[in-house]
Amino acid sequence: MMENPQEIIVNGNLLVHLDETDSTNRFIKELKTDKKYRMVVVASSFQTAGRGQGCNRWESEQGKNITFSILIHPDAILPHVQFVISMAISLAIKESLNGYFDDVSIKWPNDIYYKDKKICGILIENNLSGCVIKDSILGIGINVNQRKFVSDAPNPVSMFQILGKETDKEEVLNEVIRHFDYYLDKMNHGDFMEIRQQYLTSLYRKDGFFGYCDDNGFFEARIHTVEDDGHLILTDSDNKSRKYAFKEVRFIV
Ligand code: BTN
């Protein structure tokens, strides 16, 4: 595997660039880094076995997109509110992409959408020690300059397809780090209120009735809220409340 790590330190963060690895989440997990860094960021031009949620692979053409992982050691996040990390990184990416175009939203729990298409996926792996989160690895794939998608990934879209021109990948990566830095500060101060409010107002299909599917089949509902622990609360067309954990309900897009 041609890793060829190049390291730089910027604003107290360690940034590592690789030419190629299997998965940046796997790489960062095995990297022995000093806890003094606020964030460790590992970005790779190519992943040979990029991992998506569940058993999925993450499609990303060589050199075209940004695939990276961020390692943080949150100060005071208890396991029952670990979803705040997911909200914070989703917001940071949404705000970064809003620097390029509108119509970006967060599809619960943490897919980033442009209109009805997925532009970015996030894979979070938290490592608990006792009753706090010791390390959190945020794996992020943003579709930047890829022109065509060949896997069976549902409804992908790239910045190239939206803007009709190439975007500087490093600039996008730096923007995500800059925005995430802001939310990391909030998290470390236990200040979850703003993150939660911003997250709720950024949700995909936050207003109105849409189709969903759970184990019992299709139904129509609107989003009522997302609880602190990440459960999605829907209100269906019979005004009945329905509560879901990740993967228990599917949006019909
Ligand atoms: C999803 O299925 O939506 C999550 C995709 C996450 C992909 C990123 S790419 C960088 C990091 N390394 C991985 O192997 N996966 C994540």
Q: What is the DSSP track for 147-201? A: ----S--SSB--HHHHHSS---HHHHHHHHHHHHHHHHHHHHTT--HHHHHHHHH
Q: Which atom of ligand 1 is nearest to the CA of 118?
A: 3
**53 CB within 6 A, ligand 1:** yes
**25 CB within 6 A, ligand 1:** yes
pLDDT band of residue 125 (cuts 50, 70, 90) is: very high
pLDDT at residue 76, rounded to an integer: 76
Where do we find the tokens 């005004």? 239
Mutate which of 123, 144, 204 for ligand 1? The one with the most ligand atoms within 8 Å of its CB, which is: 123
**65 CB within 6 A, ligand 1:** no
Say whether pLDDT at 50 is over 90.
yes
The string of pLDDT tens digits covering residues 199-250 is: 999 999 999 999 999 999 999 999 999 999 999 999 999 999 999 999 999 9
Contact assessment for residue 171 and residue 158, using Cβ atoms and an 8 Å cutoff: no
Contact assessment for residue 248 and residue 233, using Cβ atoms and an 8 Å cutoff: no
Q: How far is the CA of 137 from the centre of ligand 1 (A)?
A: 11
**107 CB within 6 A, ligand 1:** no
pLDDT at residue 179, rounded to an integer: 98
Beta strands in 51-107 (DSSP E): 66-72, 104-107
The string of pLDDT tens digits covering residues 160-184 is: 999 999 999 999 999 999 999 999 9
What is the spatial order of strands in the sheet that 111-114 belongs to? 6-10, 13-18, 40-44, 66-72, 132-142, 117-129, 111-114, 104-107
SS3 for 68? strand
Mutate which of 51, 61, 120 for ligand 1? The one with the most ligand atoms within 8 Å of its CB, which is: 51
**118 CB within 6 A, ligand 1:** no
**225 CB within 6 A, ligand 1:** no
Q: Determine the distance from the C-alpha atom of residue 181 to the mean position of all C-alpha atoms in its chain, rounded to a whole number.
A: 15
Q: Which atom of ligand 1 is nearest to the CA of 24?
A: 12
**Rounded distance between C-alpha atoms, residue 212 and residue 200, angstroms:** 19
Contact assessment for residue 59 and residue 151, using Cβ atoms and an 8 Å cutoff: yes
**192 CB within 6 A, ligand 1:** no
Between the ranges 51-55, 75-79, 116-120, where is the mean pLDDT highest?
A: 116-120
Share of the chain above pLDDT 90, in %: 91
pLDDT band of residue 1 (cuts 50, 70, 90) is: low
Q: How far is the CA of 141 from the centre of ligand 1 (A)?
A: 5
Q: Name the phi and psi angles at 86, rounded to 5.
A: -65, -40
Phi-psi region of 247 (alpha: psi -120 to 50; beta: other; left: phi over 0): left
Q: Which atom of ligand 1 is nearest to the CA of 47?
A: 14
In the DSSP assignment, the letter for residue 45 is S
**47 CB within 6 A, ligand 1:** yes
Q: Which amino acid is at 34?
A: D
Note the pTM of the prediction, 2 decimals.
Answer: 0.97
In the DSSP assignment, the letter for residue 96 is H
Which ranges constitute the DSSP H helices of 21-150?
24-30, 83-98
Q: How far is the CA of 220 from the centre of ligand 1 (A)?
A: 30
CA distances from 99 to 10, 171, 201, 203 (A): 22, 11, 18, 18
